[in-house]
């Protein structure tokens, strides 16, 4: 029996149907066509605290703060691929996503080697490349190959839905999914 490929997508935006979500929807459609199972979790509206460096996770095997981060760790362990997506805030990923990813990667101890990672960023105008690099660093310290596309994975738009007009950005998202090999 063929294995079903699973992808977990984490959207750091607080806007449920914002431009970051729009970029992820492009990918979700291609994944569905390819029979890839995808779960998207929107975390941007949640109060996710940062890592407090207590190292309690070394003993517990999970974060001492039992919130969405531990739920995501369970999903991440089962997934073959992870997409992290963020709106650009001050040329960086948004703070909620960074708090989430610091704790997720630090506190979870399952083998992440060869799970495929991809980052998606969304900005009105500037800071996409810096944010893209920032997010890819979680993968490249974890033995995770990074899926690439025909451009650095970004869409442009300010108000929710504006990225609909960024045809090249949306195409980059679709290409990213097409070249995704597991
Ligand atoms: C606090 C804050 C900081 C922002 N900083 C930037 C920035 O540095 N560069 C930029 O191009 N857009 C910036 N933006 C605009 C957002 O990136 C843009 O509105 C984007 O579409 C938001 O994505 P979303 O709809 O998925 O939330 C900022 C928005 C906010 C709220």
DSSP code of residue 179: T
Residue 182, pLDDT > 90, answer no
Q: What is the mean pLDDT of residues 18-39?
A: 95
* φ and ψ at residue 68, rounded to 5 degrees: -55, -30
CA of 5 to the centre of ligand 1 (A): 32
CA of 110 to the centre of ligand 1 (A): 33
User: Which of 38-47, 102-111, 170-179 shows the lowest per-residue confidence on average (mean pLDDT)?
Assistant: 170-179
In contact, 42 and 68? CB cutoff 8 Å: no
- In this predicted model, what pLDDT tens digit does every residue of 122-172 receive, in sequence order? 999 999 999 999 999 999 999 999 999 999 999 999 999 999 999 999 999
Residue whose CA lies nearest to ligand 1 atom number 17: 123
pLDDT above 70: percentage of residues in the chain: 97
Residue 178, pLDDT > 80, answer no
Residue 180, pLDDT > 80, answer no
User: Does residue 127 line the site of ligand 1, with CB under 6 A?
Assistant: yes
Q: What is the mean pLDDT of residues 67-74?
A: 98
CA of 134 to the centre of ligand 1 (A): 16
Token look-up 């963020």 returns 86
The tokens for 7 are: 């992808």
Predicted pLDDT at 62: 98
Question: What atom in ligand 1 is closest to the CA of residue 123?
Answer: 17
C-alpha angle 168/173/174, rounded to 5°? 95
User: Does residue 44 line the site of ligand 1, with CB under 6 A?
Assistant: no
CA of 136 to the centre of ligand 1 (A): 19
> What is the rounded CA–CA span in Å between residue 130 and residue 132?
5
Question: What atom in ligand 1 is closest to the CA of residue 88?
Answer: 17
> What's the chain's length in residues?
182
Predicted pLDDT at 1: 65
Q: 176: pLDDT confidence band, cut at 50, 70 and 90?
A: confident
> What is the rounded CA–CA span in Å between residue 46 and residue 178?
31
Residue whose CA lies nearest to ligand 1 atom number 25: 18
Question: What atom in ligand 1 is closest to the CA of residue 14?
Answer: 27
């Amino acid at each position: 029996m063929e294995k079903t490929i699973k992808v977990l997508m984490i959207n750091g935006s607080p806007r449920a149907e914002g431009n970051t979500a729009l970029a992820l929807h492009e990918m979700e459609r291609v994944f569905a066509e390819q029979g890839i199972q995808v779960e998207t979790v929107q975390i941007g509206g949640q109060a996710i605290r940062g890592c407090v460096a207590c190292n309690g996770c070394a003993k517990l095997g999970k974060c001492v703060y039992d919130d969405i981060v531990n739920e995501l760790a369970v999903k991440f362990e089962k997934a073959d691929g992870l997409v992290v997506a963020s709106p650009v805030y001050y040329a960086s990923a948004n703070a909620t996503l960074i708090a989430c990813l610091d704790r997720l990667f630090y506190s979870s101890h399952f083998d992440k080697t060869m799970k495929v990672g991809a980052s998606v960023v969304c900005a009105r105008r500037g800071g996409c490349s810096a944010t893209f690099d920032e997010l890819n660093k979680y993968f490249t310290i974890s033995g995770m190959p990074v899926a690439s596309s025909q451009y650095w994975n970004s869409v442009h738009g300010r108000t929710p839905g504006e990225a609909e007009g960024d045809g090249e950005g949306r195409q980059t998202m679709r290409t990213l999914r097409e070249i995704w090999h597991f």
